[in-house]
Structure 1
């Protein structure tokens, strides 16, 4: 049975979260009260099985929930997304009979909070290479040294999923594992002062020989594209939940555009509302049709991940294409809402100006537009090099 988003995130909670978003943004402050309420509501355990005290959600369930949360507070939804990515990947493993990440669900059930420490400045290979060094220790552990960027939930995470490259053997290997917050050898930079998504507090993290325990090493993979379940799981959940967040932004922006069209009146048209203006009607209808095209794609991808559908290599262009389409559509819909809403949306006090800034972050998440187009082109035409 599907979870009801309005039961998990009731209207009263959503409105409290929405009411706090402007202040967090203005103060460049982590969404502490939102986080505490979401923890209390069991939201961080949404992927945890019911028998372990969670909500037993599917990816399709969480897509609907994250759309609802993002429509209220995009930065809160984006920050929470990074915890949900790791717990969602653990769910992907569990559904496919692999117990390697069961400890992630167990830790989440116990209240641990996961951060996504994968992105590195200058590393456009993303999951397929790393500029962080992974130095092996006797007994199977590793020490990681490098810099991770856009590590959300900086003030509150207790576990960070991350990776680095071990060059000690005959062939380099990518080592994926989890560090604990109480392990020495890492620090955050106080550098999150951005155009949008400010409350996510996705600070840079410096890894300075931080230890990953042997029982928290989950994969050693060759450098380069790899069909391993971990790569698929990260890619599938990350791209799908990102698409959900930006779709939620678009849904809110469209609602604000419709509201503005009914509220604003035109002097030259005898005081009639802009909702009666054919040009405005066309603009909002066009935005609605754009958004309507994303929803079935988003739902189908999430359903297929949940159902363990084997799309083989076609999964990667499908996931890249979904993320690209959702973020670009969201930018277009927000832009239309700004036009329809009039000059009031340009003021700092207006919700639309914050959505306008927040939606731009979609440009920078993997897969970026260049990578997405290259992935789809390779699927259609074969690789560029013979």
Structure 2
């Protein structure tokens, strides 16, 4: 079977980096039964991620990273998702945040250098914690109920964050909070061992169970003034290419479903036939439909990534394009997984086969930001504005 990644691997550097993702994907795949069943992130997989020095890849070479391009990040993330989408989505947040902090210089230099050095030396892993039960997705504009009160030369944080991927395994949390004394929303970096920080086991979802996205609870957490690393300016945020790690993840799940569906079709021969079902016309139609959908999704995503990398002067105008990639690719991924289930038939619903897990996991992509309604509105407004 041909490798769908081959057209997108362009040079020796890509091949070397891609092998890291292959090894992580293989390790992740070996643990999916227990991670999906128990809603946990495998520490064995995290060990391999760190052994491959994966967490530091998106950092600049001046810090000891590989200065990964967006194109390269998506290539690796998609491959990891082929092993387990939950692993790819989880580590993808860390990878993107490192890229964002390096590119946009959101923190003071000494604050970023301190974190970057820990990531390079010890492969430490971080994630932002922004979503809350009451406010929903922060992309919808909700103000955090988590509060930071300044007193006696420090800040005291109280609050709860939901959907904190890898919560139990992170070294640092970057937490959003409403800062009362300045009446603004800011971000604090918090060590996982800080007194008052705890993780409450709440993650019990249909799909992406292996992200272990439990609640992060902060009770009178005392932080230094230097731990306030960002303050929201109120200005419109700049486009964030790294968020394409989201569609890359779900595309990887779709590729895995495609591969397993073809293997199933080639090897399954009911006693009503004298040939495997891969030679049946309507099965071939479904395989062909998976192929053209995947070709389109890959082309759209990687062409957009190359534009981001090669034409940085256009980035500030790429928000609608990035959003369209997310919407198109995640919806296409869901369609491909559905086709794989149609090929497997009733057997696809059995825990004996991976198809039902692909189906559950890929649905989560529809609820990662930006959501379809927001994308459609954004594209419509741009089209109307262009005609004014």
Partner of 2:198: 187
**Contact 2:257–2:355 under 8 Å retained in 1:** yes
The 1:167/1:381 distance shift into structure 2, 3 A limit, reads farther
Partner of 1:202: 213
What is the TM-score when the length of structure 1 is the normalising length?
0.86
- In 2, distance between residues paired with 1:352 and 1:122? 34
The 1:162/1:97 distance shift into structure 2, 3 A limit, reads closer
What is the TM-score when the length of structure 2 is the normalising length?
0.86
Of 228, 233, 238, the residue aligned with 1:232 is 238
Of 163, 167, 182, the residue aligned with 1:150 is 163
The 1:68/1:277 distance shift into structure 2, 3 A limit, reads same
Aligned residues: 371
The 1:381/1:174 distance shift into structure 2, 3 A limit, reads farther
**Contact 2:308–2:315 under 8 Å retained in 1:** no
**Contact 2:131–2:163 under 8 Å retained in 1:** yes
Structure 1 position 331, deviation (Å): 0.9
**Contact 2:266–2:278 under 8 Å retained in 1:** yes
Q: Deviations over 1:142-172 (max 9, x none)?
A: 4333321110111211111121223444xx4
Structure 1 position 116, deviation (Å): 2.2
Partner of 1:163: 176
**Contact 2:70–2:241 under 8 Å retained in 1:** no
Q: Deviations over 1:305-340 (max 9, x none)?
A: 334623366322222222222211111110100110
| 1:1-386 pair list within 5 angstroms | 2-4=13-15, 5-10=17-22, 14-93=25-104, 99=109, 101-111=112-122, 112-123=124-135, 126-127=138-139, 128-137=141-150, 142-169=155-182, 172-223=183-234, 226-227=235-236, 231-232=237-238, 235-237=240-242, 239-265=243-269, 267-268=271-272, 270-307=273-310, 309-311=312-314, 314-381=317-384
Q: Deviations over 1:1-39 (max 9, x none)?
A: 74324432345x533331221222123332111111111
- Of 301-310 and 110-119, more deviation after overlay is shown by 301-310
The 1:148/1:134 distance shift into structure 2, 3 A limit, reads same
Q: What's the Cα RMSD here?
A: 2.8
- In 2, distance between residues paired with 1:97 and 1:161? 12
Q: Deviations over 1:209-240 (max 9, x none)?
A: 434433333332245xx33xxx436x432x21
- In 2, distance between residues paired with 1:125 and 1:24? 25
- In 2, distance between residues paired with 1:294 and 1:122? 34
Aligned residue for 2:194, secondary structure, equals coil
The 1:291/1:125 distance shift into structure 2, 3 A limit, reads same
The 1:85/1:266 distance shift into structure 2, 3 A limit, reads same
**Contact 2:277–2:283 under 8 Å retained in 1:** yes
**Contact 1:129–1:174 under 8 Å retained in 2:** no
Aligned residue for 1:9, secondary structure, equals helix
- In 2, distance between residues paired with 1:160 and 1:135? 15
Gaps of 5+ in 1: none
**Contact 1:87–1:104 under 8 Å retained in 2:** no
- Of 187-196 and 246-255, more deviation after overlay is shown by 187-196
Q: Deviations over 1:43-96 (max 9, x none)?
A: 1121133453333322221111111111011111122122212212123236x9
The 1:174/1:236 distance shift into structure 2, 3 A limit, reads farther
